[in-house]
Amino acid sequence: MEEDPGGAIINMKAKDQRENLSPSRGEAMEEEAQGGEHLLLSLGGVGVPSGGESSPRSLWVRHSILITSTIGNCYDDSLHLGIISSSSLHLPLKDNVANHLQIGYEFGSGVLQWPKSKALIHPAPATSPDAYFSLHFSDVRPTNALLAETLSLSPPATSRAAADLFRFLVRRSLHPSDGALALVVRHLARRRDFPAVRTLLQEFPSALGPDTVDAYLFHLARAGRATDALKVFDELPGELRTRGALTSLVSSLSSEGFPQLAERAVKKIAHEIFPDDNICTLLVSGYADAGKLDHALRLIGETRNGGFQPGLDAYNAVLDCVCRLCRKKDPLRMPVEAEKFLVDMEANGIPRDAGTFRVLIKNLCKIRRTEDAMNLFRQMGEWGCSPDADTYLVLIKSLYQAARISEGDELMIWMRSAGFGDKLDRKAYYGFIKVLCGIERVEHAVKVFRLMKGYGHAPGTKSYSLLIEKLASHNLGDRSNALFREAVARGITVTPGVYKIDKRYVKEKKEKKVKKKLTLPEKKILKSKRLYKLKMSFVKKPKRRMRA
């Protein structure tokens, strides 16, 4: 082992690897070994600044330097490089997890915005993305994990640059597999760049697989292009027109509000792929979610005539549709209609589950029948069902909305004891605070706010803004200002404003009655009245006779 003058110990393998590096990086490493100073070492052409505070790009470097050789060699398990600085921090490089994070950040924030990014070593200016990639990342071995990390860190307007990056990585050494192509297709489709997706599919037809087809169909349906999704499915080769692809098409179209097109596609291909209970369940759920109760019931009848039952999810979706339609037309008839459908379920041998109770409780809470919802909640054990996290959250909000604060707090404790404490996240607490502020229970909202911080959930801008506004409207300016200062100290952006105090919480000043100075005639009148009362007090009053 060698010892540098600055107190750092360099592994012998790192010294051997310096001989294979480029001259610029080898000289930088040699100067580091000799002088013991934190120099600028590059990682794939992008450097890590030294001497000052660690930049966002140096994710694992603080008071120490990680010397890396060619990134392609980093996949060898025997490679073990590192530096121990004076702070005794040893960071070995066994795996490529940190490399994926670092290089992904460099690709996502720098390369995809070429040529704005700044390189440490100033080369000749790159005139194309290929030249830029080759110049700065020529020693990187691409993998699917690196590609996924790069795309996740990419800015929003980088669809075509991401396609160019994929082509470059394929020319390097990345195998154009179904998993890699699905990542790029999903990235492009989220940005509605479907022409680029079609171009990629034409360039790499051998990489087309189930994952890519699933991503493509889902995002076409999500963008409202249901006919394009049907066309893509019809144009698929025979080996890809499988039951899984049909299920993916039906699921995408049904979830986005196109159940009729999904049913048409199923009937069209029924001679090749006969629909199973899963496809029928998706179709029934799609019709129910779209509010088309007649079509959903018709499809349930056709499925029964076909010899198999739809899944329980389909029945729960239809029950939810019944409750939603009743809420719109006549909320008082909702329990009766729901009970009719439950009887029909039991007649066909479909038992209730936790999802069934969740649908009933949610719809009862929406029409403010909290007591009926609590009775159903207590009856779940009789049917062998346990409430899930969504049921707890809906009931807690409904109890708070009904001003049953203590019961809501108790149900929150039950939820934690049932093992759903992880579902009480920042979003759930914000929902509780919003309900409590809506019913003017600001003191309890502050209590829930403190409870959220006590469980380690950092409040966001919405929570702070809502509480600051409500405290100010309740004429609690000091507490509102203290909360604003706390938000600023935590680095949370809260826009200050002028809040109007509610008249109900403004203390009106009572006017002091000033005793009027009486004139002499008024004094004489009062004196005569007092004397008359005194004189009449000595007069014997007649006794009341008892009536026979």
385-417 confidence digits (pLDDT tens): 999 999 999 999 999 999 999 999 999 999 999
Residues 177-233 pLDDT 10s: 999 999 999 999 999 999 999 999 999 999 999 999 999 999 999 999 999 999 999
Degrees to nearest 5, angle at CA 352 with 351 and 356: 145
Q: For the chain, what are the domain ranges?
A: 1-95, 445-504
DSSP conformation letters of 100-137: HHHHHHHHHHTGGGTTSS--SS--SPP-SHHHHHHHHS
> What's the token pair of residue 453?
């911080």
> What's the token pair of residue 204?
């790499």
Please list the ranges in the chain whose pLDDT falls under 70. Answer: 1-130, 133, 136, 545-548
Contact 404, 368 (CB under 8 A): no
pLDDT above 70 as % of the chain: 74
DSSP conformation letters of 272-298: TS---HHHHHHHHHHHHHTT-HHHHHH
**In the block, residue with structure tokens 């502020």:** 437
The pLDDT assigned to 107 comes to 56
The pLDDT assigned to 71 comes to 28
83: phi then psi, degrees, rounded to nearest 5:
-130, 135
The pLDDT assigned to 267 comes to 92
Determine the Cα–Cα distance for residues 281 and 350; give it in Å rounded to an integer.
14
